[in-house]
Every structure is written in structure tokens, then in C-alpha cells.
A and B are shown apart, each in its own frame.
Chain A
């Protein structure tokens, strides 16, 4: 089991503002798919209440790395990992931890909106009921609160009993975010959440993430470098499974320390 967050703030020695504590301490993480060494010795801090963007060309291991954090890679046969991701004093990569509890605290939103083929209301309360939250009033309250947080409430409040599949792609993705927020996670992982959406919906998601940052720690994988520069506080550049550069976003996009980072963000490859 993952214990409640003990107040043990670890001071960041990085460029980040001095007061921000580290939520996920990532140290020497390797991921293998069979013989394929997909993520190589990745270390970086994920700061509390900030947005960390993972950028890099396709197949560079950034999504794999993201899916390692909440152990979704366990589902893939032949996937193995080592190293440590320290969260609340516990190594998340430890085989013995309860992944169900872990995933309640570290939520995830996927590239393609994947609401359940159920009503909007059911989409949100399904996992709450499984988590043991009962009572119509309580559930209704959480539904309203999380839909408001995901900036979807005004659009769907009159049709909560309709199928989630009747929503547009952008609304579906915000519903998926609402569904993840309903569990009150500490960390929200997003795997290219707006790449399947039109620019307007995408902009809505970005605005939403900037608001959510006040309360949640967000890690986002994105192909869109403008998106990273617009919303992220820190950015990590992945290339061939390695983190080439990790830095404050403004620093990274104005004066990248590494030649390959510079080439990538200026569009010379990738």
C-alpha cells in the first residue's frame, strides 16, 4: 500500500523555484521490451504543482517512460524495468506495491479519448464506486466538481445520462480528464492528450492544464513543441531512450545546452 503523503519536503537543488518539493524522484530508470532497451538510465525530478513536458521524436521512449510511472507497462508481455521512482518514500517500481492504489494516486489520460461506452455520469462514478465511495449525494458532488474542474460542466450538466460517446472528441478527452480528477490523484500523467484533437479543443485542454497545475502535478508527453513551450514549467528532451537535456522550459527553448536539443526544437530533425 502507498501511505498517505508524509510531509517530508525534499528541497530541489535544481533551477526550479527553491520552494517546490519533488513529488516523483526518478533515478536511473531503465525499461526493456525483450531485448530492446527502450528507456536508458533516466533520472529527473518531477516538481510539485508544476507541468513537466516530455518531448522528443517518435519512438524515443517518452511514452514508455510515462507508462512506467503508473506501471501501465506491466500489461505488456516481456516489458521489464529497473531503477527507482520514489513517490512518498516508496519505490513505485517495486514489484510488491499495490498497483491499484498506485493508479488511484497517479492518474493517466491517453492519447485517444477513451471514455467508457456508458453515460457521462457513469464514466465518472464507476471508479469511485469501486474505490468504495458511496452515497448519491457524495457521488453527485464529485461528478459536478470534477466536471467543473475539467471545464466540461456547463456543456454537459443537462445530459449527464447520455452516452459519453455522443460527445465530441475534445469533450470526450475533457471527460477522461474529469474522470481521472474525480479520484483526487496527486499526479496526472497525460500521453499526448491533444494530438487527436482540433486546434480549438486542443487550446481548451491547454488552458485547463494551466488551471489544474494549481492543484495537481502534471507530466505531459507531447509532440507539439509549441505546446510544451506554452504550458510546461520544465521540459525533458528524450532521444533514443535517453534524456538528452532536462531544464527549465524557458531555458531549454531559448538557449538549449545540447546541440541535439537545439536541432530538434529548431526543427532540423524529428
Chain B
């Protein structure tokens, strides 16, 4: 009787925790969307932000967020998966690799403001890249690389050792087995890590304050020459992202409709992250099916 009671108690506790969690999430999402969706309009999404008048938009910030995300992923994903492959498949268990692993862990738990300071000192000042997309993207790479490394390593380690034997016994080399068997099998796990990182990049503000800057030149969306100063593709211009914009209109902005702009921008941010997740998972499922058979 006693153990039955305990069983019931444990189940209700777990259910209660789940309800609290889902409830909080739903309330948060609902609040942000309720406050923000009414602010979103075509002109809000497609006009420049204003410095002191009401009615500014978020066009450049939205573009900057996606562009920084893209550049960061371009740097993080290849480096991170390569590091994960090394740790999972090639590294011998020595004191040196144990040291690398703990470094990766420490790096993953660095507060983002510290990463921002590091970016300011190294990329912005020392390398003289100034406040730029590149500084921001490299700082975010520092911030996200360890996550991808760990996720890749874990995903590869969870592929059964028997698969390695199977590959080698069929006269394939270790690299070919990793490439054709291990990476496809680990793909869903790696993709989850990439999506998590993308969400972090999209929502990051502290690390970008000091690296990508608080302002954005007025972008000319007809000029796609990456070397020109007001081109959206220019890597060496300062770029305020959406989440930095939310922070700045709320704390240092002087526009009269700061609250509305922040609420609208927050809703756009949340919707973008959700859409990104869904699309990435959908694409992932298609790719996985292609690699693993129906």
C-alpha cells in the first residue's frame, strides 16, 4: 500500500512539474505575442528605425539578426562538428584530451557578457575590426563552438560501436565509416544542437553590445556589393540586431513609442526563432530520410 502511494505521489509530482513548466512557457509566449502582435505591420517590418520620432520600424535589425546568425553558423558548424568528430573518434584518452574537454565545458558556461568583453578587447580593438558583423559573429562563435563540439561528440558516441566494426569489416577505412555511417546516424542529434545554438545567437544581446555595436548604417537593399559601406552584406559595418534593439529602445532610447516598438520587436523575435526551429526540423527530417531510408 505504501509503495503504491509513493508511486502515485511521484507521478503527481512529475505531472505537476510538467504543468508548471508548460504553463510558464505558454503564459510567457502568450504575453509576448498578445503585447506584440498588434504592433506588427508591414511598415513596421519594412521601415528603418527612428532615433527620436514615433513610428520607427525594425527592417535593418531584422536583417542584421539573420545575417549574423548565418555568418556565425558558417563559422561554428564546420569547426564545431570537426572538433566533435576529433574528440569522439580520434582522440585517445590522455590527460591532454581530458584537458581539452574541460576547456570546452568551461567555455560553454562562460557568461555572454564576458564573451562580449573578450570580443571587444580582441576582435574590435586588437584586430581593429571595430564594431562589426564580423566581430559579433566571431564572438558568438566563441560562445557557441563548445556547445556544437559537445553535442557532436555525444551524438557520435551514441552510435553503436558495432557499426564501426561493421564498416571496418567491410573493407572501409575509419574516415569513410565516420562519413557515411556515423555522421548520418548522428545527424538528428547534431541538428538539435545547431538549432539550440541558432536560438541562442538570435536571442543574444550582451555579447553583441560590445562587438556588433548599437547602431546600424542606413542599409541600401539595392546595393549587394559586400565591400560598400551601406550594403546589407558588408561584414565590416556595425550592426544592431533585433535583441540588442529591444534592449536599447527600452533602456537608452528616447522614442516616445519605445514600449510598443520593443513589444513588437520581441514578438517578431519569438516568431522568427519558432519558425527557424520548425523549418530546420522539417528540413532535417527530409535530409535524414534521404540518408537513412524510409
Contacts and interface: CB of A to CB of B under 8 A. Distances in A.
A179 B181 CA distance: 14
Given A114-B160, A114-B163, A130-B176, A180 B293 contact: no
A162 B171 contact: no
A162 B294 contact: yes
Contact of A180 (B169, B181, B292, B294): B169
Interface string A206-239: 0000000000000000000000000000000000
Given A70-B169, A104-B171, A176-B166, A126 B180 contact: yes
A163 B294 contact: yes
Interface in A97-120: 100-104, 107-108, 110, 112, 114-120
A258 B160 CA distance: 41
Interface in A132-164: 161-164
Nearest to A189: B169
Contact of A122 (B164, B185, B293): B293
A187 to B, nearest CB: 12
Given A118-B293, A119-B293, A162-B293, A100 B172 contact: yes
Given A118-B291, A161-B293, A163-B293, A179 B170 contact: yes
Contacts of B160: 114
A42 B292 CA distance: 42
Give the interface centre of A100, A107, A121 by most chain B CB atoms within 10 Å: A100
B166 A72 contact: no
Contacts of B164: 75
B184 interface: yes
A244 to B, nearest CB: 28
A143 to B, nearest CB: 14
B182 to A, nearest CB: 10
Interface string B264-294: 0000000000000000000000000001111
Contacts of B171: 100-104, 127, 130-131, 183
A18 B135 CA distance: 78
Determine the interface band of chain B, counting residues with CB < 8 A from chain A.
20 to 34
Interface string B181-195: 100110000000000
Nearest to A123: B293
B29 interface: no
A75 B168 contact: yes
B173 interface: yes
Interface string A173-184: 000100110010
B292 A183 contact: no
B164 to A, nearest CB: 8
A110 B291 contact: no
A127 B170 CA distance: 6
A117 B165 contact: no
A100 B171 CA distance: 5
Nearest to A179: B170
A164 B293 contact: yes
Contacts of B170: 103-104, 107, 126-127, 179-180, 183
A126 B172 contact: yes
Contact of A163 (B167, B169, B180, B292): B292
Given A112-B162, A130-B176, A118 B169 contact: no
Given A100-B173, A110-B162, A126-B180, A117 B292 contact: yes
Contacts of B180: 116, 126, 130
Contacts of A180: 169-170
17 contacts: A72-B168, A72-B169, A100-B171, A100-B172, A100-B173, A104-B170, A110-B162, A114-B162, A116-B180, A117-B292, A118-B293, A126-B170, A127-B170, A130-B173, A163-B293, A166-B294, A180-B170
